């Protein structure tokens, strides 16, 4: 075997020689129109079941199957509002969630800009959001109000849902 650890070397060639490629060059097949894929014509689509024929002889309408949302749950709304505060309020009331998020950020920044919060830098009113003593109270108040607002929002939603039926 010699001194080669993986067996004897392959065919030897000189430094200026080129070894031929053992595989032949790719020749694409000739185009055959009989093998060409032609997609089938689309089939007519039905968007529901046909309406029953009217007594007048005219008709042919289609019943559309629509999804009707169900009632919202109080326990889920309260749980989401308790865990996520105003963000959890989006389940019950989008308007209420946006208002409370605006109050959560806007009240401390606005009062800091007026110089009403002690410890806030007057030139940088956004620095008030770094103070835990201020923002913890604001968060607690927003969670409390979002839990109340979610009950009211779920009640209104369920009443409008019941009235629509």
| Domain spans in the chain, listed from the N-terminal domain onward | 74-164
- Which residues are bridge partners to 86 per DSSP? none
Give the pLDDT confidence of 9-45 residue by residue, as tens digits: 666 667 777 777 777 788 888 878 777 777 777 777 7
CB 153 within 8 A of CB 97: no
What are the tokens at 85? Answer: 């505060």
Residue 72 in this model has a pLDDT that exceeds 80: yes
The answer on pLDDT for 66 being more than 90 is no
Per-residue pLDDT at 24: 78
Choice among 9-23, 42-56, 60-74 with the minimum mean pLDDT: 42-56
Helix%, strand%, coil% for the chain, nearest 5: 50, 0, 50
pLDDT above 90 covers a percentage of the chain that reads: 34
| Contact between 72 and 92 (Cβ < 8 Å) | yes
Q: What is the pLDDT of residue 114?
A: 78
Q: What is the pLDDT of residue 65?
A: 64
Kindly report the number of other CB atoms within 10 A of residue 164's CB atom: 7
For helices 94-114 and 132-164, the axis angle rounded to 10 degrees is: 150
């Amino acid at each position: 075997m010699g001194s080669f650890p993986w067996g004897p070397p392959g065919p030897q060639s000189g430094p200026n020689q080129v070894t031929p490629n053992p595989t032949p060059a790719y020749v694409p097949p000739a185009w055959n129109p009989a093998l060409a894929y032609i997609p089938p014509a689309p089939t007519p689509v039905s968007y529901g079941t046909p309406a029953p024929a009217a007594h007048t002889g005219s008709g042919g309408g289609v019943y559309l199957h629509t999804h009707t949302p169900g009632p919202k749950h109080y326990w889920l709304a309260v749980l989401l509002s308790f865990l996520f505060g105003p963000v959890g309020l989006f389940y019950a009331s989008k308007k209420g969630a946006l208002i409370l998020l605006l109050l959560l950020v806007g009240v401390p920044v606005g009062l800091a800009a007026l110089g009403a919060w002690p410890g806030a830098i007057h030139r940088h009113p956004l620095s008030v959001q770094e103070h835990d003593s201020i923002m913890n109270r604001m968060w607690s108040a927003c969670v409390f109000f979002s839990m109340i607002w979610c009950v009211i929002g779920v009640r209104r939603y369920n009443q409008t849902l019941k009235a629509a039926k």
